[in-house]
Amino acid sequence: MKYLYYPGCSLDGTAREYNQSTKSLMKGLDVELMELTDWSCCGASAAEFESRLLSLALPARNLAIAETMADDLDLLAPCSACYLNLKKVTETIRTDPAMLSTLNQILAEDGLTLTGRIHVRHLLDILSVDIGAKAIRERVTSPLSGTSIAPYYGCQCLRPYAVFDDPESPTSMNQLIEATGARIHEWDMGAKCCGASHMNTHHQAGMTLVGAILSSARSADAIVTVCPMCQMNLEGYQNSISAQNQTDLQIPILYLPQVLGMAMGISRKALQIDQNLTPAGRIFMKMGSGTIP
């Protein structure tokens, strides 16, 4: 199996462990990733705040680059915001040919052309559909038995485009996590919003939303995410959220490929577990390896 790969800005900076663990997991699954040359920002939630056209032009540039690199490969995006922004372009131009020609006018400035033939896929889509829990289970060497993991999907890999899972009651992570030997922490917060950039721009609202998610995961050993912004919001403010809620809400937050990789015996270094802002020691203790990273 082979995919085009768009890491996006977060995975090049504050979420580099998501990038590294995705690459290490894919290597362990014999999946080849071909990173887009000279990729640029997808616009995040910033472009859409100012201009619809800019919010389509920025991801369109990356899709046009993808088209120069392959004819028949899907484009894998691990970041949910990148995934949605890229997908929004392919969905928009499918029904709006005028927008396609406008985008091509913009891309012509840099000698690029877009047709829209590339399929954009989220990492969770590829893991749960193309690769599947069976392939993970076959490779498990250090089962996470005895641990309870809360699957957190967030919003933008599920909505508005319901591609690979139920947009309100998602389950695609269950089989993957169960393949590692871990138990699923049953909760109803998996598809609730973490507030996205509210943590920056409307701080208290973000703290309230994340506080509700962390409170609901209290009996779990870890929360698993598939988005760098969800990850940052859930792990970055646990001290102050615990203080505000007058209860200890500290919990390890891990990326899905880190959890799957751990069970497959991929080294902590290759999964960059020490780069997460929350110490993952608790889950290692439980799974019986006995050493704290």
Q: Closer to other proteins at the Cβ: 60 or 256?
A: 60
Residue 54 Cβ vs other proteins, minimum distance, rounded to whole Å: 5
Residue with Cβ nearer other proteins (102 or 250): 102
Site for other proteins in 14-53 (CB under 8 A): 14, 16, 38, 40-41, 43-53
Among 2, 33, 34, 54, binds other proteins (CB under 8 A): 54
Question: Is 197 a binder of other proteins (CB under 8 A)?
Answer: yes
- Point out which span in 56-64, 116-124, 145-153, 249-257 binds other proteins (CB under 8 A): 56-64
Residue ranges in 161-190 that form contacts with other proteins under rule CB under 8 A = 162, 167-168
Among 22, 147, 156, 172, binds other proteins (CB under 8 A): 156
Q: Which two tokens stand for residue 133?
A: 């829990």
Q: Which residues bind other proteins (CB under 8 A)?
A: 9, 12-14, 16, 38, 40-41, 43-55, 57-58, 61, 102, 105-107, 109-110, 155-156, 159-160, 162, 167-168, 192-193, 195-198, 200-205, 208-209, 236-237, 239-240, 275, 277
